[in-house]
Amino acid sequence: MTTLRCGAKTLDLSRPVVMGVLNVTPDSFSDGGRFLPVEAAVAQGVRLAEEGAAIIDIGGESTRPGAAPVSVEEELRRVVPAVEGLHRAVPQAIISVDTSKPEVIRAAIAAGAGLINDVRALAEPGALEAVVAGDCAVCLMHMQGDPQTMQRSPGYVDVVKEVKAYLHERVQKCRAAGVSAERILLDPGFCFGKTLEHNLELLRRLGELSPEGLPMLVGLSRKSIVGTLTGRAVADRVYGSVALAVIAALNGAVVIRAHDVAATMDALKIVTALQGR
């Protein structure tokens, strides 16, 4: 697939693109609280778009290890105004919302979101139906366990085989419900119920993971894998994150989820030239 249909918009995936991260939460591991006010969120979203982000991914509930869940009402209060503001401010960008709740999915689509980025791969009751009705794109991610428990003792017999099988099962559920292949993006879920070795093996064998040749999103920006390998604190993980983004793109990822959009864009321009795209 070289395009992703996101409601009324179509995203060209013939070359790698960047999804800029916009957390509207008080407790995200990287920038919790900085963009919680709506004005700050919109300004940051505009900056990400100006730096080259094709997608702006808004999250109203932290999914870092051990994060506490938030109510539907609180997530709606954080997310919907940001989606509405960015839909007006950067009409050319795809607005994505990082959520698993059907109520938030429906409200986000109504506010202007064209992509739902779900760490639970639409497994929550009503989530799949909300995406079907909204005619938007969806990113299906693999996670072992849940954010509260996922990093306690993750284990696999064959991490690549098991992640691929899970993604295939979720794709089949979506296709059977009426979500066309041109609306589906996949994410192996780096650091979501994986050890360092699991993450490295998934990155090495990224090209083996996609059922039906569906496009792959990779989110490694500033994550624990970067800290473990470099010894750097969260705020100092730009170089390590960009290195992993380049490796992911060379191994087949077409959407790179990143906090540091400008740096990642520069690196992907070099990857694109190398690949002759």
Does the pLDDT value for residue 148 go beyond 70? no
Residue type, 277: R
Model confidence at 28, in pLDDT bands (50, 70, 90)?
low
What tokens does 43 get?
Answer: 């300004």
What rounded mean pLDDT belongs to the chain?
93
Clarify whether 223 is annotated catalytic: yes
Q: What is the pLDDT of residue 31?
A: 58
Domain boundaries, the chain: 3-275
What is the spatial distance between Cα 81 and Cα 38, in angstroms, rounded to a whole number?
A: 7
Q: Which fold has domain 3-275?
A: TIM Barrel (3.20.20)
**Annotated catalytic residue, options 101, 257, 269, 277:** 257
Q: Do 79 and 99 contact (CB within 8 A), yes or no?
A: yes
Q: What is the pLDDT of residues 197-243, one digit of tens each?
A: 999 999 999 999 987 889 999 999 999 999 999 999 999 999 999 99
Does the pLDDT value for residue 147 go beyond 80? no
Q: Which segment of 93-97, 154-158, 173-177 scores lowest on mean pLDDT?
A: 154-158
* Burial (0-12, 13-18, 19+ Cβ within 10 Å), 2: exposed
Section 67-87 average pLDDT: 93
Q: Within 13 A of 26's CA, how many CA atoms are on the CB side? A: 5
Clarify whether 257 is annotated catalytic: yes
**Annotated catalytic residue, options 222, 223, 232, 277:** 223
Residues whose CB is less than 8 angstroms from the CB of residue 53 and which lie 6 or more positions away in sequence, other chains included:
18, 19, 20, 93, 258, 261
Q: What is the pLDDT of residue 6?
A: 97
Does the pLDDT value for residue 33 go beyond 70? no
Task: Determine what percent of the chain is predicted with pLDDT higher than 90.
Answer: 84
Q: What is the pLDDT of residue 139?
A: 98
Section 1-14 average pLDDT: 93
Section 64-81 average pLDDT: 88
Q: Which segment of 23-37, 93-107, 179-193, 262-276 scores lowest on mean pLDDT?
A: 23-37
Q: Do 8 and 114 contact (CB within 8 A), yes or no?
A: yes
What is the spatial distance between Cα 98 and Cα 177, in angstroms, rounded to a whole number?
A: 21
